Structure 1
């Protein structure tokens, strides 16, 4: 088994507690020892550490063996907030782990699932961010389903009566996802928000009024450039041999809607990506320059070629 972080082992054990019908684990469990590649002593230490963090786990004796029992479901986010008043300790544990961990973390989140969503690992200083008034006020507004008024610092634009849905971490930044006055789902980068106020419309909006937006947020968003209500297009890309290993069929996806198509005779890889606008995937293509090629559609290929030409022109004029 590939080497995994301690945090990943914690998550695996918490999920295993939930899966087991009797909700019990012990340090001599053959499945756990094999899956985590640990000795009974190491596994026992991990189980003891979980017991110390979560009151929902009881420890008892069965002869000389310690038995750990989950007495009620664990909401790991709620525990983090209640025990430490911030999620910083949890994120710090995950910094050396895999960004996909947070998808597993969401599965364990119940009480605060309506509030947080992670598209990748939050490396920003969460403790400083949580101390900012705008972030804290957005949390309260989302909890209460109040209408919000946001003022953005870059152009002093004010957007009133927004239905704020979730705080979303993606593209290495925090965003607030909201439905605007035209019923469009949009993302506002929190570091660009100057003021957060209650909207001019008094009262609470109904969850049913934003259900379609939440469905889109959960199932259709690829990054902060994904457009709501726009028909999706499909791009076919080719990863040349220098980078092909990162795009093989069994490798982790870089984009949510990335699909392996074929490995060619020369070792290059064909794959497709769905998108709603050019900006949703062109920065990704640029990141792998010059070993990632757009094959189709033609308009996307031409748009990218134009960006490259402009870049060369700007460099020459420097």
Structure 2
């Protein structure tokens, strides 16, 4: 580099470090770059990229601006880490540490030690009673392969551990879902008799990616967005087959359902004079709501459909015998 270019590059680094937005057309009116071509300015930026590839990124400038860049600085992270976000990140790191995820990260050992130190310090303020999802080092490798297959829409064959041994399935993978503190792989089954499948990642022992690719089924994409539990039932044109479940919650427990949505589809239908409340849930099959109802017996009863109410009553009688 010439002396002048060195000075310009150092000035760019200074501006990036202070969190400034750097735009090529604005620099052309700056004293250090006045009269310089766009090509010269880009060469200055390329010098920084050569030595610090992840130092800054192209962003969308304002009206009339082009070629604008900005660096992710410590100050930006400080603004990002508000109270709610920080609490979420602390929980995430705690889960990561308790499941050996940090061990799988391709980062310097000293950096891992620093992260672990921060996690340990966070435990002075946080304690997590609910057990997080269980995972193994092998799961992390499988998740990475699933991510690749989902990104490039590749067919896969998965092998799953089942009660009677291992079974294999060919699948068009769509998404990895996190439900009830567990990861699930969901997608379109290559077997037309079972158009949609959901697999718990911890039960998957092997995955093979194929060169063959596929296109998404829009109906299944829409269906995945509505999944609430690990027990969804897909039927083509699924919205025509959704089931509305109405339950009544006693006055003693109604406040808990007003404070929290136990499923995303939960809605208040009616608040009665005695304080009890009618809630509705929209599900793909009755199994999705059974566990919730049973957890809240005797403070919750099914109003409709009759088939679910009778199923719950039969299960309760069998339990009491």
TM-score between the two structures when normalised by the length of structure 1: 0.57
Provide the residue aligned with 2:151 in structure 1.
143
What do residues 152-196 of structure 1 show as CA deviations (whole Å, max 9, x unaligned)? 111422112x11111111022110011102272221111111221
Aligned with residue 298 of structure 1, among 301, 306, 312: 306
Provide the residue aligned with 2:267 in structure 1.
259
Q: 1:57 to 1:271 in 2, by over 3 A?
A: same
Is this contact kept in 2: 1:57–1:68, CA < 8 A? Answer: no
Is this contact kept in 2: 1:150–1:159, CA < 8 A? Answer: yes
Local SS of the residue matching 2:224: helix
Q: 1:131 to 1:196 in 2, by over 3 A?
A: closer
Provide the residue aligned with 1:217 in structure 2.
224
Which whole-Å CA distance do the structure 2 matches of 1:306 and 1:59 have between them? 60
Which whole-Å CA distance do the structure 2 matches of 1:256 and 1:129 have between them? 32
Alignment pair present for 1:196 and 2:207 = yes
**1:203, CA displacement in angstroms?**
2.3
Aligned with residue 242 of structure 1, among 234, 238, 252: 252
Which whole-Å CA distance do the structure 1 matches of 2:303 and 2:127 have between them? 34
Which whole-Å CA distance do the structure 2 matches of 1:129 and 1:221 have between them? 27
What do residues 210-233 of structure 1 show as CA deviations (whole Å, max 9, x unaligned)? 333222212x21211121125111
Is this contact kept in 1: 2:178–2:184, CA < 8 A? Answer: yes
Which whole-Å CA distance do the structure 2 matches of 1:129 and 1:136 have between them? 11
Q: Tell which structure's C-alpha radius of gyration is larger.
A: 2
The equivalences for 1:29-44 within 5 A come to: none
Which whole-Å CA distance do the structure 2 matches of 1:288 and 1:175 have between them? 26
What do residues 253-285 of structure 1 show as CA deviations (whole Å, max 9, x unaligned)? 111111101211111111111122121000011
Is this contact kept in 1: 2:134–2:202, CA < 8 A? Answer: no
In structure 1, runs of 5+ residues without a counterpart are 1-21, 24-53, 61-66, 70-75, 99-120, 314-318
Alignment pair present for 1:311 and 2:313 = no
The equivalences for 1:262-281 within 5 A come to: 262-281=270-289
Which whole-Å CA distance do the structure 2 matches of 1:284 and 1:170 have between them? 15
Is this contact kept in 2: 1:176–1:188, CA < 8 A? Answer: yes
Which whole-Å CA distance do the structure 2 matches of 1:173 and 1:146 have between them? 23
Is this contact kept in 1: 2:302–2:308, CA < 8 A? Answer: yes
Is this contact kept in 2: 1:259–1:272, CA < 8 A? Answer: yes
Local SS of the residue matching 1:280: helix
Local SS of the residue matching 1:153: strand
What do residues 12-42 of structure 1 show as CA deviations (whole Å, max 9, x unaligned)? xxxxxxxxxx99xxxxxxxxxxxxxxxxxxx
Q: When the two structures are aligned, how many residues end up with a matched partner?
A: 214
Which whole-Å CA distance do the structure 1 matches of 2:106 and 2:275 have between them? 50
Local SS of the residue matching 2:268: strand
Provide the residue aligned with 1:284 in structure 2.
292
Is this contact kept in 2: 1:177–1:187, CA < 8 A? Answer: yes
Q: 1:129 to 1:225 in 2, by over 3 A?
A: farther
